[in-house]
Chains A and B, each alone.
Chain A
Amino acid sequence: GNKPPAKDEL
C-alpha cells in the first residue's frame, strides 16, 4: 500500500 503521508506537523 502507499506509505502514509509524512508526519511533519505537531
Chain B
Amino acid sequence: MNIFRFLGDMSHILSFVILLLKITQGKSAAGISLRTQELYMIVFCSRYLDLFWNFSSLYNSFLKVVFIACSSAIVYIIRFKSPQKDTWNPELDNFPIQYLIGPCAVAGLLINQDWTPFEMIWAFSIYLEAVAILPQLFLLQKQGEVENLTSHYVAALGAYRGLYLMNWVYRYFTEDDYLQRIVWFAGTVQTGLYIDFFYHYYQSKRGGLSRPVKLP
C-alpha cells in the first residue's frame, strides 16, 4: 500500500458517497447516467469474484464488498425506487453499452494474464471500467451544463484512477519485477477520458465561485 493508492481508494469511496447522497437526499437522478452505473456494477461483480478465494488483505476484501454493494444499490435506486426512477430519462441516457461490453469481452478473452476463466473475466472488468464513464460523459455533453454535485462526483471518479496511475509509477520504481501492463494501459485510457472534463471542471471552480461546469 502507498499513499497514492490509498488516496485513490478514498477518492473512489468519496465518489460513491457523493452519488449516494445526491440520489437519496436530492431524491433525483437527473444528470446521472444509469448506463454508467450499470457498467460499474458489472465491473465490480465480475472483478471481485475472487472475493471468495483471494484474501490479499482485509482492507481489499472489505472494500470489494462495499463497492459491489454501493454500485448495486445505486442501480437499484435509479431503476426501481420512486421518485428517483421517474427522474431518469431513457431518451437522454441512451448510450449503446453493448458496443462497450462486447469489445471488452473479446479483449478479455484474447488479452489477459493467464488462460483461466477468472483471468479472462478479470481482464474484461479492467477494460470495461476504462470505458464505463462514457455514457455519463455523453449525458453531460448533451446537457451542456453540469449540476454541482454531479461535477464533484465525476471529478472524484476521475481522480481515483489518476491516483492509481501514480501508484503504478511508484510501485514500478520501488518494487522489483512489478509488471501490470493490462491495468497500466486501461488505467491510462480511463484517466485520459476525463482530461476534457477536468479542464472544464478546473475552469469552473478556479474562481472559487461555484460557477456551473459548462461542457461545449
Query: A residues touching B (Cβ–Cβ < 8 Å)?
Result: 1, 3-10
Q: Which of B70-122 contact A (CB under 8 A)?
A: 113-114, 119, 122
Chain A residue nearest in CB terms to B178: A5
B57 surroundings in chain A (CB, below 8 A)? 8
A4 surroundings in chain B (CB, below 8 A)? 113-114, 119
- Given A10-B63, A10-B64, CB of A5 within 8 Å of CB of B56: no
Check B179 against A5 for contact (C-beta < 8 Å).
yes
B36 to chain A, nearest CB (A): 18
Check B60 against A5 for contact (C-beta < 8 Å).
no
Check B54 against A7 for contact (C-beta < 8 Å).
yes
Complex-state Cα separation, A7 to B12, whole angstroms: 18
Query: B residues touching A (Cβ–Cβ < 8 Å)?
Result: 5, 9, 12, 50, 54, 56-57, 60, 63-64, 67, 113-114, 119, 122, 164, 167, 178-180, 183
Complex-state Cα separation, A3 to B63, whole angstroms: 25
Check A7 against B122 for contact (C-beta < 8 Å).
yes
8 A-B pairs with least C-beta separation:
A4-B113, A8-B56, A4-B114, A10-B63, A4-B119, A7-B54, A10-B60, A5-B180
A10 surroundings in chain B (CB, below 8 A)? 9, 12, 60, 63-64, 67
A8 surroundings in chain B (CB, below 8 A)? 56-57, 60
B113 surroundings in chain A (CB, below 8 A)? 4-5
Given A5-B113, A5-B180, A10-B12, 4 other A-B contacts at CB below 8 A?
A: A4-B113, A4-B119, A5-B179, A9-B5
> Can you pick out 24 interface pairs between chain A and chain B where the beta carbons lie within 8 Å of each other?
A1-B114, A3-B114, A4-B113, A4-B119, A5-B113, A5-B178, A5-B179, A5-B180, A6-B56, A7-B50, A7-B54, A7-B56, A7-B122, A8-B57, A8-B60, A9-B5, A9-B60, A9-B167, A9-B183, A10-B9, A10-B12, A10-B63, A10-B64, A10-B67
